[in-house]
């Protein structure tokens, strides 16, 4: 083989090596994109990518969601993220809880729940009448039982609930009602629900403005009600109620209230 022929062969071999290397670089599959919770595709090495750790178990409270509001000022918030206690203590926003009722509300496993069968009430006074009341709660027990959670907005400074508008939610039904001057509770709206009592968390909201009440419930249920009496009974005294009976229990995971 002449020197000139050898040089041609070596040159062709070098070209083939470079071409093969380029092919490998172009066609080697890269890691698939990670789809963020917002739906955007980002690289797995992007420092802004969401964590790929195991998500929390069903029923774990989602506290930040309760403090987000399109308008208004956060006046009260409690996620009960403190040690077990026979008393509810003080909310992170500074309110000292006033508790009443036969059930005796307590803090256990970062939730507010009754210490025994019955009704437990937690009350606090806001700087002004609320525009939004939110609650995240979970239920355990039998599907057919109707132990629930209720949120009240009242003009009674002593938490007597004589003048009040309230929203009650159980695994089976919701009920919006009002009471005036200590009379009978009168229904404003109601309907069926199908919440699973397996400990998972559900969030709902009661919006109040003048004579109007708007409720947003799990499963996309939404109702808007107008009644002139709403403006006369609603006020800055707010109460949350949890009930339990036997193996069926309702638990308040977190709550929040907003004012204008």
Ramachandran area for residue 141 (φ above 0: left; ψ -120 to 50: alpha; else beta): left
pLDDT band, residue 4 (cuts 50/70/90) = very low
* Whether CATH 2.60.120.560 fits 65-259: yes
Q: How far apart, in whole angstroms, are the C-alpha atoms of residue 80 and residue 186?
A: 32
The reported pLDDT for the residue numbered 246 is 84
Q: Among 49-53, 145-149, 181-185, 202-206, which is the least confidently predicted range? A: 49-53
pLDDT at 220 > cutoff 60:
yes
Q: What is the 3-state secondary structure (H, E, C) of the chain?
A: CCHHHHHHHHHHHHHHHHHHHHHHHHHCCCCCCEECCCCCEECCCCCCCCCCCCCCCCCCCCHHHHCCCCCCEEEEEECCCCCCECCCCECCCCCECEEECCCCEEEECCEEEECCCEEEEEEEECCCCEEEEEEEEEEECCCCCCCCEEEEEECCCCCCCCCEEEEEECCCEEEEEEECCCCCCEEEEEEECCCCCEEEEEEEEEEEECCEEEEECHHHCEEEEECCCHHHHCCCEEEEEEEEECCEEEEEEEEEEEEC
Per-residue pLDDT, 22? 42
Q: Tell me: the pLDDT tens digits for 154-164?
A: 999 999 999 99
Domain boundaries, the chain: 1-53, 65-259
């Amino acid at each position: 083989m002449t020197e000139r022929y050898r040089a041609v062969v070596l040159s062709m071999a070098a070209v083939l090596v470079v071409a093969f290397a380029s092919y490998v670089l172009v066609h080697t599959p890269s890691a698939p994109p990670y789809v963020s919770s917002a739906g955007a595709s980002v690289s797995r090495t992007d420092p802004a990518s969401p964590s790929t750790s195991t998500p929390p178990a069903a029923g774990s409270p989602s506290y930040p969601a309760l403090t987000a509001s399109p308008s208004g000022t956060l006046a009260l918030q409690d996620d009960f993220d403190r040690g077990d206690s026979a008393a509810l203590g003080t909310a992170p926003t500074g309110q000292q809880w006033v508790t009443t009722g036969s059930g005796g509300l307590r803090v256990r496993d970062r939730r507010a729940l009754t210490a025994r069968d019955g009704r437990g009430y937690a009350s606090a006074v806001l700087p002004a009448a609320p525009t939004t009341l939110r609650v995240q709660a979970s239920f355990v027990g039998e599907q057919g039982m109707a132990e629930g959670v209720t949120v009240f907005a009242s003009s009674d400074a002593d938490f007597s609930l004589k003048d009040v508008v309230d929203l009650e939610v159980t695994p089976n039904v919701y009920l919006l009602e009002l009471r005036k001057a200590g009379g009978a509770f009168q229904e404003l709206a109601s309907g069926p629900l199908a919440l699973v009592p397996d400990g998972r968390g559900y969030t709902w909201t009661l919006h109040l403005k003048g004579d109007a009440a708007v409720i947003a419930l799990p499963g996309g249920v939404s109702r808007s009600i107008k009644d002139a009496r709403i403006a006369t009974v609603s006020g800055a005294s707010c109460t949350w109620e949890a009930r339990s009976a036997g193996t069926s229990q309702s638990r308040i995971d977190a709550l929040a209230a907003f004012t204008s």
